[in-house]
Chains A and B, each alone.
Chain A
């Protein structure tokens, strides 16, 4: 059987695509480069939207990227069930694209934060978290200036009630996110977005605080192999 193919999207200003592709390969899948200007998902089995400053974060983070040719293909595919993971800027793009509810706004303390962060896994029912245990605490790097998750009261109640809060900050809320939310999923659980960076926590050699990020990639691979 051929390896699962995970697309990694590059926009102008994307920073983490190489780390994401490497994490995909370390997990045993094929990393397929996807270019923002192409109307082509290249038949991939899942998509990783990496972090960075796509389109320079002009207007709002993710506001321009969300209308790129690649995204006009990705949005209907995600709505039809294609697994998509967005980290950091990728999470912001997913919110701007309305694939996930709410928005990411400027950190409460205004500072750009770059540090290792404890995260609690609140849902293992998504395509990207099945390999974790419910309530498991992991450590991932965070690095963002606009990661404060906000949504209206009704949306927060729905997210909490439907078990769609996938990750919560533990040991202190770094950015003022409502309900300590670090990541969420769509109703079907195939689309997940989070501010922390699993792709930076897959190898001891790079000085990562953990290799907890591997769980995201092993989760999606099991899902694809069993699909």
Chain B
């Protein structure tokens, strides 16, 4: 049993107007010192078995196929502690 985290982010060159809106809201709420915000998605996958090499390879395929649109998004996979 293991939990694998897949983080999906828009590629750096893709405009993120939601992140910009959040960045503009922060100073209005009294928070300062943030120059940029980018918004992404986090997926938590509970595996039936261990997060071994084969399982992580499968997760990579899931990310490429469904979780991320690799035309506009990058993804990163890590095993939760």
- B69 adjacent to A63 (CB under 8 Å): yes
Interface of chain A: mostly helix, strand, loop or mixed: loop
How long is the Cα–Cα vector from A103 to B72 in the complex, in angstroms? Answer: 7
Q: Which of A63, A67, A150, A176 has the most B CB atoms < 10 Å from its CB?
A: A150
A60 at the interface (CB under 8 A from B): yes
> For this complex, into which size category does the number of interface residues on chain A fall?
20 to 34
**Min distance, Cβ B46 to any Cβ of chain A, angstroms:** 18
B79 within 8 A of A: no
Contact of B66 among A59, A148, A151 (CB under 8 A): A59
* Cβ < 8 Å to A, chain B residues 51-81: 66-67, 69, 71-72
Q: Does B34 contact A (CB under 8 A)?
A: no
Contact A102 B71 (CB under 8 A): yes
Do B17 and A110 have beta carbons less than 8 Å apart? yes
Residue contact A106 to B71, C-beta cutoff 8 Å: no
The tally of CB-CB contacts under 8 A between chains A and B is 33
Please determine whether A105 and B18 come into contact, CB atoms closer than 8 angstroms. no
B66–A105 contact, CB under 8 A?
no
Known A59-B66, A63-B66, A67-B66: A108·B71 in contact at CB below 8 Å: no
> Which residues on the B side are within 8 Å of A102 (C-beta)?
71
Report if B25 contacts A (CB, 8 A): no
| A60 interface neighbour in B14, B18, B69, Cβ under 8 Å | B69
Chain B, residue nearest A98 (CB): B71
Considering only residues 146-189 of chain A, those with a C-beta below 8 Å from chain B are: 148, 150-152, 176
Which of A103, A107, A152 makes the CB contact (< 8 A) with B69? A103
Contacts of B17 in A (CB 8 A): 106-110
Q: Which B residues touch A59, using CB under 8 A?
A: 66-67
Q: How far does the Cβ of A136 sit from chain B's closest Cβ, in whole Å?
A: 30
Q: What residues of A have a CB within 8 angstroms of the CB of B47 in the complex?
A: none
Interface readout for A108-135 with B: 1 if CB under 8 Å, 0 if not? 1110000000000000000000000000
A16 contacts chain B at the CB level, 8 A cutoff: no
Is B21 interfacial (CB-CB < 8 Å)?
yes
Q: How many angstroms from the CA of A109 to the CA of B24 in the assembled complex?
A: 13
User: How many angstroms from the CA of A103 to the CA of B66 in the assembled complex?
Assistant: 14
Q: Which B residues are within 8 Å of any A CB, using their own CB?
A: 10, 14-15, 17-18, 21, 66-67, 69, 71-72
Q: Interface residues, chain A, CB within 8 Å of chain B?
A: 59-60, 63, 67, 95-96, 101-103, 105-110, 148, 150-152, 176
A-B contact list, 8 entries, CB within 8 Å = A67-B66, A103-B69, A103-B71, A105-B14, A108-B17, A110-B21, A148-B15, A176-B15
